Structure 1
């Protein structure tokens, strides 16, 4: 069965912007999770007059299965752990936190690279939409929401063009609202919903955030 809903991330961003139209006003902040989420967030920001920013997040894969997320960590050190996956692989919370800590400095440097050296936008008191190109497990989104929540936004929205029902349920416990045009019970990979799901380069992220894309 053909499950492709979007030609590419830009088209997905246009559709997501429509879903967010009554929720984000000029002055709100769209934070794209790199790298693909930044391309989607760019379209949201353009159409709704929102500010565009990013937050570097890294998925930590399970042993011998890097595609299966056991945790995710942000550039500010917040860690979301998939407890069931960790238990299955016999991984302690301490070992996961130690592994996550090893990546924080690199993520900070990457975040600064993406923002061309500027500090992140102050989201305190603002409506914030955290945007990714899709949510399979929702682990990276969960970590991002943990970080943004600490900065006390007025409202924290998790947004993606497509997501698994499992991810939406999980993320709903961390966000004030989840906005997702397509929620799927059967979900194998985000890429199955895009005709073009080619990798996004760091250069594209930098250009998008600098307003040169």
Structure 2
């Protein structure tokens, strides 16, 4: 059995990945109680396509993976807005990570999370998530650490329903998340993930400017259509 991406499953780019997720989420279209939260940076182009097609609100859930220093793609945990921290104890043990090393990574990633919060949102009030249908979106999942941090951050606000929508993820990661959310949407579940980028023809890094541009376009659309509460802050 070949594990190379087929014509049916390979994704052209993140925009195409977002378009692939629209149909399974159509029941949430044009609802004022629905908000799509993107995990920056790679999740933003995916989420933009979903929010635009469904005509619902778009915002961010800022999360930072805590990469093992010798292997940055391997998560030893994750942090999210609101002081959420997820720790992968197995990764810490396997890589013999000392507490001081872990703390240094947390400090560095916290600074980057705060930088992105200011760069992307500026003075825009955070969205109200209480009693809302929240759809968390990323460009794919590997270990799921970042998404788990995002889930925990959202759950603090008491959403009515929590949905995770990603284009590609391995089965074991999806199983680990299944009991944490109301719904999981993932059209591509490879037997071997290899890497998220393996399933894309174009997986170039999303830039800060692209994130800012897409958010501004989405927020302009919302302002013109009157979609969603404006200027509200989290309770």
TM-score with structure 1 setting the length: 0.91
Aligned counterpart, 1:166: 172
Q: Post-superposition shift, 1:100?
A: 2.2
Equivalent residue in structure 2 for 1:16, among 4, 21, 24: 21
CA distance in 2, matches of 1:48, 1:159: 14
Change (3 A) 1:93 1:159: farther
Instruction: Give the one of 48, 56, 60 matched to 1:50.
Output: 56
Within 5 Å, which residues of 2 pair with 1:1-213? 1=2, 2-3=4-5, 5-23=10-28, 25-27=30-32, 28-91=34-97, 96=102, 99-211=105-217
d(CA) in 1 for partners of 2:49 and 2:196? Answer: 18
CA contact (8 A) 2:66 2:109 kept: no
Q: Contact 2:17/2:46 (CA < 8 Å) preserved in 1? A: yes
Q: Rg: which structure is higher?
A: 2
Residue pair 1:32, 1:53 contacting (<8 A) in 2 also: yes
| Partner SS for 1:69 | strand
Query: Contact 1:30–1:131 (CA<8 Å) still a contact in 2?
Result: yes
Over the residues paired in the alignment, what is the CA RMSD in angstroms?
A: 2.1
Structure 1 unaligned spans of 5+: none
CA spacing shift, 1:191–1:103, aligned 2, 3 Å: closer
Gaps of 5+ in 2: 221-235
> How many residue pairs get matched?
213
Structure-2 separation of matches of 1:18 and 1:184: 20
User: Given that residues 112 and 118 in structure 1 are in contact (C-alpha distance below 8 angstroms), is that contact kept between their aligned partners in structure 2?
Assistant: no
